[in-house]
A and B are shown apart, each in its own frame.
Chain A
Amino acid sequence: MKKHISIFSLLLLMLFTFSCSDEIMDEIDTDPNNPTDVPISMLMSGCTAATPYWVTGTTLAWFSSIFVEQTAGAHGQMRDADRRANINSQLSENSWAFQIYPRLLPDLKIIIEKGSEDGSEDGKWIDVGIAKILQAYTFLASTDTWGRIPFSEATLGAENRKPVYDTQESIYTAMLNQLDEAVADLQKENISTTGGEDYIYGGDSDAWILAAYSLKARYANRLSNIDATGSAADALAAAANGFASMEDDFTFDNWSNDLGHENTWFQEENERRHHAISVTFYDILDGLNDPRIPLFITQVNGEYVPAQNGTSEEDQAGTIYSRMSTNVIYATAPLPIMTYAELKFVEAECHLRKSAPDAAAALAAYEAGLDAALVQAGVETASAEVYMAQPEVLPIDAENLTTDMIYTQKYIHLWPYGSVEAFAEWRRTGFPTLTNPFEAPRRFPYPQNEISGNAENVPTVTAYNGVWWDDGTED
């Protein structure tokens, strides 16, 4: 009898358990804190902060700055980078494997899918346009940094755990086209209400259109070693619709003084202090009596003491070498992604390189760029005039304008926040002549995460091989 009772109660228990339906279980298994879907607006805020933060303003920028000798490593990882002691797969781990691929790119893709036709927020074309611009910028800056990267099969999750590495050429073609697409999207009839969650332009579609064209000019110009005149024509065509003044700059200017929301370079300089002023950078300024020296560079015991890349002393304390000035590096300092001045330098170069060179147009663009760069740096008008009165800085006769002058001013203008771009430009133009005794990398190594997880697709290449637009070969 006893046995019967226990079997009976067991059955009863099982019945009771199974009566809890699948739907109820699904409900129980729903995380109250983390949704399965979120609106575009809640992704846009993260993306418009993450793109400048991760692509423009942190690890990639710091290492690029060392490689292109805008700064010299005075401590730890940056000093090791100057001595090429850590040019290995760890160097790219943070940027690639924690930030750009697993966090930023999936969110940008989701915004584009949601806001486009048949998406859940179909018609939010301003958001789609913004995401396409940020995605193009991220892929282009990434391929400049690493060479061949996963692109066509990237961020597909379970559909493809081991994406192939596309050629840089195909990424350039696709992303330059995407910038045009973004412009078209931004002009469509739109239901977006994006405002403050776009931390860059506050949802202003006209401003984004200018940024798209300007970026197109920058990246079209990068292909000068592949197609000298064609790239100049493409860049000039895009630049004609780009920024019209400094007011249009593509800049993240939304830092604040509270902990964690400060300018990334400011945080670095306050906490880690890896960077001193590079002698390469200083000598270029000093050679032209540049009025930006006192604005950009601190003194040690009343003198400018730049550090030699590759052989500098350990100086985290900043007692040996000059460092970046607090005029430039402060908590709320704007982080430019691309500026009007840079666009003008691109135009100047392209006017000299196009099939029918136009020195006068080149000089005009160059002067506009130089003017803007000096104003942006905070140079007083009188000092700017003295500086520009030097013919090595601003030639009187347009025929005397050289590409080296343009590269020089662009290199100075890209200091310190535009180092990712400056590193790419050094590889394209050979400017400046580096002084580090150790050979400089011409790309970043692939991260360990890819070597371990996607070995069959990771190209076999060293950090000293040029990328496609650098030497014409992919690997």
Chain B
Amino acid sequence: MLFLTVTGRNDVVSNMPSGNRSYFYPSVSLGFIFTELEFMQDQQVLPFGKIRASYSQMGQAGALYATRTLFTSKEESEGLSSGFLDNEFAFPYQSYPAFTLQSTLLSDGLRPQNVTSYEIGADLRFYQNRVGIDYSYYYVNATDQIFSVPLAASSGFRSEYRNAGELESKGHEVVLSIVPIRSSGGFEWEILTNFSQNKNMVLELAPGVERAQTGYNNFTSVGAYAYSGHPYPVIFGSSYVRDDQNRIVVDSRETVAGEPNPFYGMPLQGGEEIILGKVNPDWDASLTNILRYKGFTFTAQLYYSKGGYLSSGLNRLLRNYGAAAETEDRETFQVLPNTAKGYLDPATGDLVNEGDNDIEIQKNEDYWSTVEWNITESAIFDKTMLRLKEVVISYDMPQSWFNNIFISSISIFANGRNLALWTDYPNFDPESSTAEGNGIGAFEYVSLPNTKSFGGGLKITF
């Protein structure tokens, strides 16, 4: 009826600096099946009910070899690269090896990070298990989070690996199962739903640290960052200039230095990089319908994800090379909808707003390959989507068919995965990602999308 679990654990790790190698972390969890109480036993409404609460701490060490700044060999990926050229000047060259001081500053001040979690929940099953709810709420607080924090390169290092932040994560998870029909004729309809909402926030970064890069995408300047007081992670990059009504401002200067301005009527780029959107969805849910009748089972699963942003390298490239459908019309003169016009004062960098935009432009190569190309924000898109994730039809053959042989069951099935996708995200699957680690879901750069697949099979159990 009442379950209490207490654990204690002490880790001693070599990959932390001397003095910070040993750390202890406990956990307590309590579960109570209240339907086992005497007065609850003789009722049919709620045959099973459990509530639970837990508290746990978890210590975590950093990466390997992260306590001393080292020299790395300039081989392959560590060679010289211009950032423009595809090939690097690799060493050893002419039989001479080369080393360079690594560009991440490491120190022996590193401490293990600590994650404290609280969770409460309930598991309730009603009416012969025909309705079930499993709910939990969690709150996670991560202190001394270890990040690679960007440094001004003039310090001699591009980043510093250090304890730099406090993050919190909280959310709800609900699993609801309902069996609306369970007929005596053998027909059953079951609905399973799953809802989760998770909010990650950066509560605080170490003094002097404005933002910490957590994901990096090659080829483009966009990054995923932990930014104090904001959801975690956020995409950071160059942006449009906007007026006080949040409208994009286009360049109103017909001429520059007496020459026609090639970017007249096209969006202006802001001077500094800003937060362009949070990466993670607001919430997601799945809905699974299962129909069973005399050995036949039909299952269909829908998945919906709301919100979150992805930086799309693919769309940026398609536009740059004029391969996206939206770049097809390069002739029609048009005013960019819902925009203002103005220019940036060359002396102060401030916006001189000249009101509603009435400048007709062609969306030509200058527009796509220069203006839009240089503005990271132009290729940041909402990831909201609905997906038909899986459909399965299966048939379990009646036992009576093979009662006297050594086969115990036979079933055949046909399935299709990822059959349909509804989204406003352009030209691609918003669930694709090319980044690694904490940047997952922030960038996509010509990666392999989810594939549609069909299958079928025969399952024989002996």
Contact = CB atoms under 8 A, between A and B. Distances in A.
A and B part of one assembly: yes
Contact of B156 (A85, A106, A197): A106
Nearest to B376: A90
A97 B158 contact: yes
B163 interface: no
A22 B108 CA distance: 14
A55 B347 CA distance: 30
A439 interface: yes
Interface of chain B: mostly helix, strand, loop or mixed = loop
B318 interface: no
B96 A196 contact: yes
Contact of B371 (A85, A161, A451): A85
Contacts of A464: 346
A58 B273 contact: no
Interface string B94-138: 111111111101010000000000000000000000000000000
Given A35-B71, A154-B156, A62 B84 contact: yes
B382 to A, nearest CB: 25
Nearest to A24: B14
Interface in A443-458: 447-454
A175 B137 CA distance: 63
B365 A36 contact: no
A28 interface: yes
A37 B102 CA distance: 11
B82 A155 contact: no
A261 interface: yes
Range of interface residues on A (Cβ < 8 Å)? 35 or more
Contacts of A149: 154
A470 B50 CA distance: 79
Contact of B18 (A25, A58, A155, A199): A25
A43 interface: yes
Contact of B153 (A20, A83, A102, A196): A102
Nearest to B347: A462
Interface in A117-151: 149-150
B144 interface: no
Interface stretch (A266-274, A284-292, A369-377, A399-407): A266-274
Contact of A448 (B83, B99, B102, B273): B273
Contacts of B70: 31, 34-36
Interface stretch (B85-93, B276-284, B290-298): B85-93
B153 A260 contact: no
B156 A105 contact: yes
B103 A85 contact: no
Nearest to A43: B99
A8 interface: no
Contacts of B18: 22, 25-26
Contacts of B85: 58, 264, 267-268, 271-272
Interface string A10-29: 00001001101010111011
Interface core residue of A37, A85, A105 (most chain B CB under 10 Å): A85
A138 to B, nearest CB: 13
Interface in B151-196: 151-158, 160
Contacts of A18: 12, 22
Contact of B84 (A29, A43, A106, A268): A268
A163 interface: yes
Given A49-B93, A158-B107, A83 B370 contact: yes
A461 B257 CA distance: 20
A253 interface: no
A109 B152 CA distance: 18
Given A80-B370, A163-B152, A261 B89 contact: yes
A154 B347 CA distance: 29
Given A85-B371, A267-B87, A34 B155 contact: no
A157 interface: yes
Contact of A157 (B71, B156, B208): B156
B155 A59 contact: no
A46 B154 contact: no
A69 to B, nearest CB: 15
25 contacts: A22-B18, A46-B74, A49-B80, A49-B93, A53-B80, A62-B84, A99-B80, A101-B153, A106-B156, A149-B154, A154-B155, A156-B155, A158-B107, A161-B151, A162-B152, A162-B208, A163-B152, A196-B95, A260-B87, A271-B85, A272-B84, A437-B256, A438-B257, A447-B153, A462-B349
Given A14-B10, A29-B64, A199-B93, 5 more contacts: A31-B65, A36-B68, A86-B370, A106-B156, A437-B259
The 4 closest A-B pairs by CB, nearest first: A155-B156, A94-B83, A453-B152, A437-B259
